[in-house]
Amino acid sequence: MDLSVIILIFLCGCGSALRVYLHPQTDIGGIKKVAVVPFSNLSADHFAGERVTNAFITELLIRTNVEIVEEGELVKGLKEIGIDHGSGVNLEKSLDVAKLQKLGKSLGAQGIVLGSVDQYDMVRIGAESYPVITLTVRLLDVETGGIMWMSSFSKKGGPGSIPFISAGEVYTLSELTQKVARQIVSSLGE
């Protein structure tokens, strides 16, 4: 087998699917400040939404020049529009376009990030367990209420594409969470 084919297989990895939508008239570079609403958790892991939200914010701070609304300010803004963040409410479903726009304007943000953790599990394959994460994230324009960017991503950890080379192995949910958040944030520039 040709070395370039082996390298291509290795770089592609296994078990991932990234889908990205960017509104044709969106200038992501024009976004200076965003509010990241805590991600909805649709998985069995009670803390998955919080873990993924934190990883996503970390990657936004590392990889972009966007200012992130501080969590305390976000909670205060949510209370001002009648939503209690601590009540276990699914924030994504509680925020209609008018509330999102009001929230964004009160926080001085041009965009609001909403997301959901659809799967956050360890799956057993043979004698091994591997992490699996599926996320959906979207960036809404505060001015229009429309979707500027949206990404869905599903990834499975485990061994790399070439079994005898340990590079690329991912065996923990936290490691895979960081990788998935990094790839989704990187797709903002595409």
Q: Hey, what are 34's tokens?
A: 């965003």
Average pLDDT on 34-54 reads 94
Phi-psi region at 116: left, alpha or beta (left = phi > 0; alpha = psi -120 to 50): beta
**pLDDT tens string 48-65:** 999 999 999 999 999 999
Q: How far apart are CA 102 and CA 81, in angstroms?
A: 8
Which residue type sits at 142?
V
Question: CA-to-CA distance for 167 and 5, rounded, in angstroms?
Answer: 17
Name the 3-class secondary structure at 44.
Answer: coil
Domains of the chain, first to last: 14-189 (3.40.50.10610)
Q: Per-residue pLDDT tens for 114-146?
A: 999 999 999 988 888 899 999 999 999 999 999
pTM of the model: 0.83
Instruction: Work out whether the CA dihedral 25, 144, 109, 113 comes out positive or negative.
Output: negative
Q: Which residue has the higher pLDDT, 172 or 29?
A: 172
Give the HSE-up count for residue 85: Cα atoms under 13 Å, Cβ half-sphere. Answer: 16
Residue 55 near residue 45, CB atoms below 8 Å: no
Q: Which residue has 């400040």 as its token pair?
A: 33
The pLDDT score that the predictor gives to residue 48 is: 95
CB 28 within 8 A of CB 22: yes
